[in-house]
Amino acid sequence: MITEKEKREIIDRAVEETLLKIPEVVGSLMMNHASKMRARKKFYERFPEFGNHRDIVTTVIEGVENSDASLDFDQIIERAVPKIKRQIASVKDLEMTKMKKPNLDFGQGEL
């Protein structure tokens, strides 16, 4: 059985190791974020027609990414672009600002 002092030393050492890793983890996250921002900018420069459909782009890319985690970014884009184009084509004629009231006049009919 370990003593209370030994237990405290173990905990303190674990906390110290964790705190020492924070700068490395934050740096890695910042590099990852910057890389994604560059990729996003490059993507929209390559496909400016997708600029007004960022929600569709995001959804499709996430779907492709989630379907196969082994793909690199270029492979994800290669698979996603045709799907994005289909999605945009399917919603381009939808009117999202004007709402028509349905005809609810069903008459009296027989009981």
Same domain for 37 and 67?
A: no
Q: Which residues of 54-88 are buried (b: 16+ CB within 10 A; e: fewer)?
A: eebbeebbeebeeeeeeeeeeebbebbbebbbebb
Q: Is residue 111 part of a domain?
A: no
Q: By residue range, what is the domain housing residue 26?
A: 1-46
Q: Is residue 84 part of a domain?
A: yes
Whole-number Å distance between alpha carbons of 81 and 50: 10
**pTM of the predicted model, to two decimals?**
0.61
Of 49, 32, 33, 44, the closest CA to residue 77 belongs to 44
Same domain for 40 and 53?
A: no
pLDDT in tens, the chain (111 residues): 889 999 999 999 999 999 999 999 999 999 999 998 998 999 999 999 999 999 999 999 999 999 998 998 889 999 999 999 999 998 877 766 777 777 777 766 665
Q: Is residue 27 part of a domain?
A: yes
Number of domains in the chain: 2
